[in-house]
Amino acid sequence: MRSVDGVVGPSVAVRPSVPVPHILSAMTHVGNRVMVRSAALQERAEKYLAGGVDSPVRAFRAVGGHPPFVVSANGATLVDADGNKYVDMFGSWGPMLFGHAFPPAVAAICDAAARSASFGASTPAEADLADLVQRCFPSMQKMRFVSSGTEACMSAIRLARGFTGRPFVIKFEGCYHGHSDGLLVKAGSGVATFGIPGSAGVPDETAMHTLALPYNDLGAVEAAFEAHPELVACVIVEPVVGNAGTIAPAAGYLAGLRALTKKHGALLIFDEVMTGFRLSAGGAQELYGMHVGDAAPDLTTLGKIVGGGLPVGVFGGRAEVMDKLAPLGPVYQAGTLSGNPLAMAAGIATLGHLLVHRKEIYAGLEETAAAIADGVAKIAAEHGIALTTNRVGSMFTWFFTPTAVTDFASASASDTAAFARFHRGMLERGVWLPPSQYEAAFVSAAHGEREVELVLQAARGALKDTVR
């Protein structure tokens, strides 16, 4: 513990030059939780960081209140700078499948770090991790590691264009594939949270080659292909949407996309940055029987879950497509931190554990997620609150709307003000939900009966607050 200007709490960097009265004037409470240090840290961050954050949704603009500053986490628990504890229901936006500070991953990272954090050269660990990825995703005949899910999706699309010689990309409204220029058209995640249709700084000449269509509507996809004959390079889709809240594919939808892309000579890209390893060891494509043979996507993108939560991504697929990448082909992609040894080590430890224990892991995740998602839905019904619960495996969303949510338009009908009140009520009671109606919640293998009861207990009070 360290005393900073008379404020005592976990050891975190707060400049001692900030006057005590100034810090105390920023003091805030979340319910009975004092957040003196988090408020001071936010005030300091705003001096140096745009909006005081390094990713927009962390600012809590969609839900109101002051965001806690996290200083540590273990298992299913987050701890803020004031020592408050929270049940973590967003898991670093999905990748913490085994909870925070997973001991095998921590040990592997420390061991790798002792040999250097980066080489900028090939290492044996890259192929070791690739082998584990391919065991889970057999459709990824060849792959390449990058540093993020954004980079994986951006690179996959460049590769699809290079392979087909075509310019257009079909994506779906509310699906987020990272913040590269051409993919911010009607995107989900923070773009949806802030009500931004695209992004300033993206030239029309770039956006014009992205066709954003309604999710779960095969007719719209067929019409787009017919309107742009032999011009569509690929269709990229979140097979289960997570960045507009959780939205499952309609029966036959994914198979229909596979059939249409084959018919029109375009590639099909499954963005499994969020669903990969979470819904099953082989992600959504295994869950929906599309992981092998002609049903499989041409390319797949994966994100930080591959590295146990460290900054890493991977894209891969059919060998003939991947062989178009330099140094074998004309499509250029590179990165000094690609195949970073720390991320590779954490990934090997994480996926190795997953492959050994996959049966019990997914059974446990299913049971816990159902208990939380259905339990809160039942409490909402008892309070007469209109709530639609969408869940696929261990990812789910409570939409504050009485109607079914099947695409971004129906998700947008949700009462976001009610969600904001619910979010604040849950946070006051020690449960940290994703701070947006348009983001999925997640459970980990570290969530158990205790966390289920804490969430349900918090919801009983928070839902009362929601209807006031």
For the chain, give percent helix, strand, coil, nearest 5: 40, 15, 40
Are the C-beta atoms of 185 and 212 separated by less than 8 Å?
yes
What sections of 148-252 are H helices per DSSP? 149-164, 190-193, 204-207, 218-227
Distance between CA atoms of residues 466 and 380, nearest Å? 10
Show the beta-strand stretches assigned E in 89-167. 142-146
Residue 121 neighbours by CB under 8 Å, 6+ apart: none
Is the link from the previous residue into 327 a cis peptide, with omega within 30 of 0?
yes
Q: Among residues 456, 402, 395, 404, which one has the least CA distance to residue 430?
A: 456
Task: Tell me if 155 sits within 8 A of 146, measured CB to CB.
Answer: yes
Among left, alpha and beta (phi > 0; psi -120 to 50; other), residue 91 is left
Counting Cβ atoms within 10 Å, is residue 270 exposed (0-12), middle (13-18) or buried (19+)? buried
HSE (side-chain half, CA atoms, 13 Å) at 347: 31
In terms of Cβ atoms closer than 10 Å to its own Cβ (0-12, 13-18, 19+), residue 447 is buried
In terms of Cα–Cα distance, which of 339, 288, 161 is closest to 236?
Answer: 161
Do the bridges between strand 431-432 and strand 85-88 make them parallel or antiparallel, or are there none, so unpaired? parallel
Half-sphere exposure of 19 (CA within 13 A, CB side): 3
Note whether 73 and 101 are within 8 A (CB): yes
**Whole-number Cα distances in Å, 149 to 152, 177, 301, 464:** 5, 8, 7, 38
SS3 at position 372: helix
CB atoms within 10 A of CB 448: 16
Instruction: Give the residue numbers marked as catalytic.
Output: 176, 271, 304
**Phi then psi dihedrals of residue 413, to 5 deg:** -80, -5
Instruction: Round to whole Å and give the CA distance between 343 and 146.
Output: 10
